[in-house]
Every structure is written in structure tokens, then in C-alpha cells.
């Protein structure tokens, strides 16, 4: 198999960058895009001036203002962000049709067979960055590597407004020095467990064989074994399909008990049903699920195969999820997992 050439593009503080572009008076001051602090809002993204104070995405707006009292929080303008995202993708398509969007501001590109710049992935990435800056007046960072795992790490290497290339001959040394916390799928819990086992870098991880990793980490052990050697065979998925549809709401005041949570279900389910009605026939509704975030920001998600998707079924799921924390609730989410019927043969009922 020929060597793949993958580019990972990641916009720099995307929402905030568009706000500063459209209103230059916002530049050079701490800025965040998110919800209002007095309405339990959360930061969606922030500029680098705000990050210097410790402000981060997914942080509560109230806490962000404690860290940075001069922080200006503006409400999101999703239509504007979606428009810019489409314009960025138009630039991508000048170089390849193999594009896998991860979000509005992030995507993988497979340029293995691109004829541009004599097939140089590095020069294609340079040109994309130049055009986005010139035509759209925002910056993007790019990583170039033989696979998705390494390209994503590389795009973060010289942020903001950076480009980093991991050529095939550099893969082994580059990966060996990586902290295991950089590996795809390794969160805090797994990283802490690895640290307790004396594993802090991929070089340390290479001392473990497949069987030993499987004993400690189950099926994820095989993935760890491969990533520690820079191996990732995932293809760029051009047609990304939905896996679920859901509705979430964060409440201005904590819901104190189960009864208060249950009383919010009808409105949430009405909105969920509206979203379900807009799905095309290539999806089949599957398992219902509920998500609760408690007042202390701990959260739980519960789903049930074979359950119906009516109000009573969601009440049972929510009750069971609430019992896991038995604390005031700040957010309720309801949703449905989806089966992708496209290209599959649905089994008919026997009777």
C-alpha cells in the first residue's frame, strides 16, 4: 500500500477569530464566545489573550470571569461560523475531495493522490493556510503526516498559525518522545493508570507487549500498542454519518430533585421528536438515552437497548440516571442512538 499523505487542519480559536475579524475593536483584548455568566453559561472558545489568564473552552462563564475580570463574553453567531466553515471547505476542495470534517473548524484531508504541487502535502498545507489567511482573514494551523493520528498531533505542535510536518522517516523518533497523554483515546483516567505502571512516554509503552497491554486495558490495549509505534490505519471518512440525535438544556437554577427533572421531560422530548422528524429514511431510531450533569459538574449517561421512545420510557431512564448521583441537576439531555441503514439490509420481523 502506498504511503498516505494526511493533512489535519485546525482553525485557531475559530469563533473568537471570526468575532475579532468582523469587529476589529475586539482584537487584542481577552475575548470569549459563550453563554452569559448569570444564566449558567459555558465558554465555547476564547482567544489567546483570554487563555493567558487560564480561560478554557467548556469552562463555566462565571469561573472564566473570576480568572479574568476584564473578559468580554459575546454570544455565539452560529450562522456566521457555518458560513466561514463552508468557505474553508471550498478551499479544501481545490486540492482534494477526500475531506473528513470533525467539526466546523477542524478536518482531515487525504492528499495522497493530489496532483497539486507535484504531490507535496507540505506545499498543499502551506497554500491552504495562505489562502485562508488572505481570503477569509483568519488563521489555521496544519499538521502533515502519514496518518490521521500523527497529523492531528502535528497540527497542535506550533499553534497558533503554525505548520508542523512529520515525515515517514521521522515517525519513529517523534512518537517515541510523545507523552502517552497525547495518544488518541487516552484520557485522564487512562493516563493516570499508565503513570502508575511507570509508563509516561511512548518509548515506555513500547516495552509492553500486546498480551500485557490487553490484560491491563482490554481491547484498547491493541490500539495502545499500535499508536506507541505511530501506526494508525484509519482512512479519511468522506461521508461522516450521524450516530445519534439529541437535545440538551442547561437550567438557570439547579433542579433540586427527581420530580423537578421529570417535569422537564415533555418539552425536551417535543424538541427531540422535531429533530427526529427531520432525519432522512436512511436512519433508523435505536436505543433511547438520557444524560444528566449534576450541580458539581459530574455527569452520567444511561441508555437501554430495546426500550421504547415514549415519555414513560424516558422517565424510567431518567430516574435510574438520577439515582446514580442523587444530587441537584444543572443539565438534562435526551436522545436516540441511530442505526445507519444505508448499504445495510434491515432484518425483517418474523411475524
Active site (catalytic) residues = 106
C-alpha distances in angstroms, 49 versus 140, 163, 244, 300? 17, 21, 36, 33
Upstream peptide bond of 160 is cis (omega within 30 degrees of 0): yes
Contact 324, 258 (CB under 8 A): no
Using DSSP's 3-state secondary structure scheme, residue 329 falls into: strand
The reply, when asked if residue 105 is annotated as ligand binding, is yes
Separation CA 10–CA 87 (nearest Å)? 14
How many residues are given for the chain? 351
User: How many secondary structure helices (H) and strands (E) does the chain include?
Assistant: 14, 12
> What DSSP state is assigned to residue 37?
G
Angle among Cα 272, 275, 279 to the nearest 5 degrees reads 135
- Ligand-binding annotation for 70, yes or no, is no
Q: What is the DSSP letter of 116?
A: G
CA 103-107-113 angle, 5° bins: 155
* 210 Cβ contact list (under 8 Å, min separation 6): 221, 222, 225
C-alpha 77/C-alpha 146 separation (Å) is 36
Residue ranges at the known binding site: 10, 105
Task: Give binding residues for Mg(2+) as ranges.
Answer: 10, 105
Amino acid at each position: 500500500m502506498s504511503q498516505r499523505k494526511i493533512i489535519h487542519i485546525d482553525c485557531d480559536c475559530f469563533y473568537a477569530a471570526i468575532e475579532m475579524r468582523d469587529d476589529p475593536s475586539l482584537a487584542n483584548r481577552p475575548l470569549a464566545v459563550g453563554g452569559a455568566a448569570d444564566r449558567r453559561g459555558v465558554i465555547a472558545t476564547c482567544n489567546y489573550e483570554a487563555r493567558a489568564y487560564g480561560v478554557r473552552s467548556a469552562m463555566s462563564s462565571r469561573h472564566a470571569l473570576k480568572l479574568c475580570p476584564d473578559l468580554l463574553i459575546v454570544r455565539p453567531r452560529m450562522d456566521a461560523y457555518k458560513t466561514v466553515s463552508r468557505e474553508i471547505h471550498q478551499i479544501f476542495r481545490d486540492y482534494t475531495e477526500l475531506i473528513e470534517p470533525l467539526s466546523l473548524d477542524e478536518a482531515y484531508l487525504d492528499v495522497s493522490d493530489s496532483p497539486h504541487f507535484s504531490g507535496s502535502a507540505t506545499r498543499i498545507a502551506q497554500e491552504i493556510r495562505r489562502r485562508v489567511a488572505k481570503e477569509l482573514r483568519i488563521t489555521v494551523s496544519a499538521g502533515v503526516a502519514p496518518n490521521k493520528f500523527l497529523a492531528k498531533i502535528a497540527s497542535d505542535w506550533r499553534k497558533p498559525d503554525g505548520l508542523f510536518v512529520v515525515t515517514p522517516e521521522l515517525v519513529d523518533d517523534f512518537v517515541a518522545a510523545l507523552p502517552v497523554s497525547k495518544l488518541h483515546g487516552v484520557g485522564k483516567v487512562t493516563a493516570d493508570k499508565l503513570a502508575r505502571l511507570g509508563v509516561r512516554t511512548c518509548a515506555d509503552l513500547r516495552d509492553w507487549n500486546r498480551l500485557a497491554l490487553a490484560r491491563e486495558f482490554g481491547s484498547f490495549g491493541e490500539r495502545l500498542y499500535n499508536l506507541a509505534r505511530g501506526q494508525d490505519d484509519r482512512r479519511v471518512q468522506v461521508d461522516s454519518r450521524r450516530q445519534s440525535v439529541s437535545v440538551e438544556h442547561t437550567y438557570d437554577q439547579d433542579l433540586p430533585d427527581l420530580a423537578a427533572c421529570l417535569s422537564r421531560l415533555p418539552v425536551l422530548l417535543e424538541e427531540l421528536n422535531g429533530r427526529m422528524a427531520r432525519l432522512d429514511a436512511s436512519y433508523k431510531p435505536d436505543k433511547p438515552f438520557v444524560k444528566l450533569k449534576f450541580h458539581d459538574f459530574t455527569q452520567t449517561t444511561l441508555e437501554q437497548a430495546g426500550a421504547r421512545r415514549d415519555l414513560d420510557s424516558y422517565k424510567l431512564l431518567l430516574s435510574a440516571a438520577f439515582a446514580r448521583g442523587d444530587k441537584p441537576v444543572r443539565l438534562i439531555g435526551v436522545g436516540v442512538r441511530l442505526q445507519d441503514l444505508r448499504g445495510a439490509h434491515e432484518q425483517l420481523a418474523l411475524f
